[in-house]
Amino acid sequence: MEKIPLDKIRNIGIIAHIDAGKTTTSERVLFYTGRNYKLGEVHEGTATMDWMVQEQERGITITAAATTCTWKDIHINLIDTPGHVDFTIEVERSLKVLDGAVVVFCGVGGVEPQSETVWRQADRYGVPRIAFVNKMDRVGSNFLEAIDQMHKRLGTNAAPIQLPYGKDAEFKGIIDLIEKKLIYFKDDLGKEVEIKDIPAEAMPEVEKQRTIMLERLAEVDDKIMEDYLHGKDIPVAVLKEAIRKGVIANKFVPVLCGSAFKNKGVQLVLDAVKDYLPSPIDVPPIKGTNPETGEFEEIKASEKAPFCALCFKVATDPYVGKIFFIRVYSGTISSGTYIYNASKRERERVTKIVKMHANRQEVVESVSCGEIAALVGLKDTKTGETLCTENNHILIEAMRFPEPVIQQAIEPASKDAQEKLGLALHKLEDEDPSFRVTYNQETGQTLIAGMGQLHLEIIIDRILREFNVEAQVGQPQVAYRETLTKKVRAVGKFISQSGGRGQYGHCVVEMEPQETPGTGITFEDKIKSGAIPREFIPAVKQGVFGAAKSGVLAGYPVTDVKVILVDGSFHEVDSSELAFQMAGSLAFNEGLKKAGPVLLEPIMDMEVIVPEEFMGQVIGDLSSRRAKIISLAQRLNLRTIRANIPLAEVFNYATIIRSLTQGRASYTMEPSFYTEVPAHIAEKIVTGYAASGSTRKSFR
């Protein structure tokens, strides 16, 4: 396979709120680049990138799909991501390995809640972006209002580089503010394009918006500032170079417009990807840690450097088994060679390398720096782990995985299905780090936990159809957490003597709440003068983390606790790793009981879009559900209500809001934070748990 120069590669993702038109835009990209010979449509279930049965049935994207295509002289590795908040992990891990992103906004909805979420995710990874305001053919679309919302809600320095020509159903073309030309689309497929002069009646608005673009650009580029202040005519090449520099530095976001469904404007988005988004050598080198020295090292994008890659996704293929998606940051890898998993410190053999086109595979002999590909043959690699050469160990910073907020009990329909269910759950857990499987010792239940009802619904559907396992599931439950409220000192002592060699482990820990919510459990060793031998300290830590899986109030996992090992003792003969593991567990449980334990519940960030006449009823209903109203706003002839609301109060809210508003309102929500459960509700949860584990084992 011919090597692609690094400066000709673009690793990009398409990210947006649900139903903004990501997959439709992706399908047009594949069509115009010649990757597909016909247009796939989401509503017909024929979209290439939505290849799962569940995606085709529901008309939504569930899993991030990767493909490659070529536009002019640029090689594009494209990832189409889901918009639904239940599948936010797909966006998270895609952004981790991408160099740039196209953020799609709905021309009618503007900046919606999930738009803000994906924007923050891109901010966290420092991903350069261009914006595409889609659906300009829809009634009520407003290009400039969408840009205004980007400034207010996202705090970004965005400016139009295009203007729509024609409004709503009369949307016919796009005005290029850089070259001051009208691009007119003559046919339905958008392939016949005519370049015209801008009509005289549109010139005043063109000059006004071009001035805004230059002013915003001048804020981040000294050369443009100087030329603009002196009234000089800025050449197109200089303007494009300034935009590119601003985008790569994350200081400027050019905004384009169009209608992907009506085949208008996507070629211009591809031109913007080529002109403004970075190649692998334009972005700062990724940082890694040397596992031996603990020091930071930069991984420079070079084919001559030692091989280093990050596994950002694991998928199960019915024919070849597991497929491991990787982004290669340096060096080259060939099929049939051995690589080193630096996270697990194990050798792995690559039997096959493939380039993915949604669910189709194209076998290649090797992949080099800057590429996104998939490996076959690895055994123990998981999402977020670093792959490198055996003589050049390095660890890339791990990804951040969200905590599940909802759980359900699941059990096989028959004894024969028990083993198959276990294998299916294990495979799904490997694929999706936001999906967790736990076993509750007290109730004897297997619990599956995820990001929302739709997330678990898709998981259960895949278990039934993809893995052919008959299973029964319980009603969805809120994934509560437990934590402590004060600092305590606790002792754990495990002594056992039953003939022969005994067991002795003794440790003293200090426990306190974490300063930053969401930190989880941390363990710190402050043992001095060998009170506990070094070889037993990992066992104490293991005991602490094991005990944290089940709290003392209602058996929910414990979070946001700092544990410091301060003292202990050992026996020359009887001490063992098992004894100290038990001591760590006992100390943690004792400390939790003394430290004023409380229950925490997930709070959702909700936005309801409702006609004016129903607003009072909706606000009243939300208030009765312990919601805290954050803001009220106007959007065309609708009102938007932003609120924080406990997840426990909004199960099946879609049915409730439909009946309240004659089916005219809609809502979106996403997990925001955990907070303490009010005392009277916590008492019911704890009492219900104490009464009987069997009552929680109700299946439908």
Q: Which residues contact 506 (CB under 8 A, 6 or more apart)?
A: 491, 492, 493, 494, 568, 569, 570, 583
Q: Tell me phi and psi for residue 231, to 5 degrees.
A: 70, 25
Residues (pLDDT < 50) of the chain are 43, 692, 694-700
Strand stretches in 497-597, DSSP E: 503-513, 521-525, 561-569
**Mean predicted lDDT score pLDDT of the chain:** 86
User: Cα-flanking dihedrals φ and ψ of residue 541, to 5°?
Assistant: -60, -45
Read off the DSSP letter of residue 455.
H
- Cα distance between residue 130 and residue 226, in whole Å: 25
Q: Name the one residue in this structure whose structure tokens are 């584990």.
A: 693
Residue whose C-alpha is closest to residue 104's, from 75, 81, 120: 81
CA 575 to chain CA centroid, nearest Å: 44
Give the helix ranges, DSSP H, for 570-673. Answer: 577-594, 615-624, 653-661
pLDDT at 50 (0 to 100) = 55
Distance CA 27, CA 357 (A): 12
pLDDT tens for each residue of 325-353: 999 999 999 988 999 988 888 899 999 99
Query: Which burial class, exposed, middle or buried, applies to 661 when counting CB atoms under 10 A from its CB (0-12, 13-18, 19+)?
Result: buried
Looking at residue 57, what is its pLDDT? 64
CA distance 255 to 10: 19
Separation of alpha carbons 173 and 426, rounded Å: 51
Query: Would you say 134 and 20 are in contact if contact means Cβ atoms under 8 Å apart?
Result: yes
The number of residues making up the chain comes to: 700
- Asked if residue 559 lies in contact with residue 482, where contact means CB atoms within 8 angstroms, the answer is yes
Task: Give the pLDDT confidence score for residue 700 in this predicted structure.
Answer: 30
323 contacts 374 by C-beta, under 8 angstroms = yes
pTM: 0.76
Contact present, 361 and 318 (Cβ < 8 Å): no
SS (H, E, C) 292-324: CCCCEEEECCCCCCCCEEEEEEEEEECCCEEEE
- State the pLDDT at residue 672: 84
Residue type, 589: N
> Which of 184, 210, 209, 186 has its CA nearest to residue 197?
184
Q: What are the residues whose beta carbons fall under 8 Å from the beta carbon of 533, sequence distance 6 or more?
A: 570, 575
* CA proximity to 555, closest of 409, 455, 434: 409
Distance between CA 174 and CA 184 in Å, rounded?
7
Q: What is the C-alpha radius of gyration for the chain, rounded to an integer number of angstroms?
A: 28
Residue 168 tokens read as 């709503």
Interhelix angle for 417-431 vs 453-465, to 10°?
130
pLDDT of 551 reads 87
Q: Report the alpha-carbon distance of residue 672 to residue 16 in Å, rounded.
A: 18
Residue 157 and residue 251 in contact, taking contact as beta carbons nearer than 8 Å: yes
Q: What is the pLDDT of residue 294?
A: 76
Q: What pLDDT shows up at residue 476?
A: 80
Give residue-wise pLDDT tens across range 11-59.
999 998 888 888 888 888 888 888 766 655 554 555 565 556 666 666 6
Half-sphere exposure of 141 (CA within 13 A, CB side): 24
